Chains A and B, each alone.
Chain A
Amino acid sequence: NAGVTQTPKFQVLKTGQSMTLQCAQDMNHNSMYWYRQDPGMGLRLIYYSASEGTTDKGEVPNGYNVSRLNKREFSLRLESAAPSQTSVYFCAITANYNEQFFGPGTRLTVL
């Protein structure tokens, strides 16, 4: 039972390159989230998915797209990476009492 997994763990991109961050859960919950965490700013919601087939924008969606592939998987895509997207990205799920379980994070640097 791995909980929430994310790949890759680290990534370095050049400005303008694209990439997809992968998230998978084996906890059988409907809601999945993508956050970014920057020093001094806390976790900010990028996109979330309340259930398979639905996605909604969060606080900072610009420059990102998401896909809820099935109940288990929720991916985050950067079409044209910018230095402002250098951050740590966390995927999370909401459990039965609204608490969230997080993946280990992806550390992204955009040069």
Chain B
Amino acid sequence: EDQVTQSPEALRLQEGESSSLNCSYTVSGLRGLFWYRQDPGKGPEFLFTLYSAGEEKEKERLKATLTKKESFLHITAPKPEDSATYLCAVQAHTGGFKTIFGAGTRLFVKA
């Protein structure tokens, strides 16, 4: 069964304190792994797609990496505006258009 597990559930950082969020996945043939950001009261917002192990993508203070079993979202020198819930999701080659989401990591960045 395709599955996505994110850790930690919540992460509290001081402004400028770099850290990483983890996404572990099991899927029968990965089509793509996705990261989304969700602000309170809003829908998820697309950040990155990773397709194969070893791939990396960057956007401002965020960098996503992928291995065969997990993905990391590295946050470098975070700012309070980076506070949000970060969702990881996978699509399998055999799953058609279905996307499996993890429960998310709530990130709090204090000034």
Chain B residue at smallest Cβ distance from A48: B97
**In the complex, how many residue pairs between chain A and chain B have their CB atoms under 8 Å apart?**
57
Q: For residue B2, give the distance in angstroms from its CB to the closest CB of chain A.
A: 11
Chain B residue at smallest Cβ distance from A104: B43
CA distance A4 to B104 in the complex (A): 22
Q: Check A102 for interface membership: any CB of B closer than 8 A.
A: yes
Partner of B99, one of A97, A100, A104: A100
What number of A residues sit within 8 Å (CB to CB) of B?
26
Q: Check A41 for interface membership: any CB of B closer than 8 A.
A: yes
Interface string of B79-108 (1 = CB under 8 A from A): 000000001010100001111011110000
Structural contact, B43 and A105, CB atoms closer than 8 A: yes
Task: Kindly list chain A residues whose C-beta atoms are within 8 Å of the C-beta of B91.
Answer: 98
Task: Kindly list chain B residues whose C-beta atoms are within 8 Å of the C-beta of A50.
Answer: 96-97
Q: Check B34 for interface membership: any CB of A closer than 8 A.
A: yes
With A99-B49, A103-B43 in contact, is A42–B102 under 8 Å at CB?
A: yes
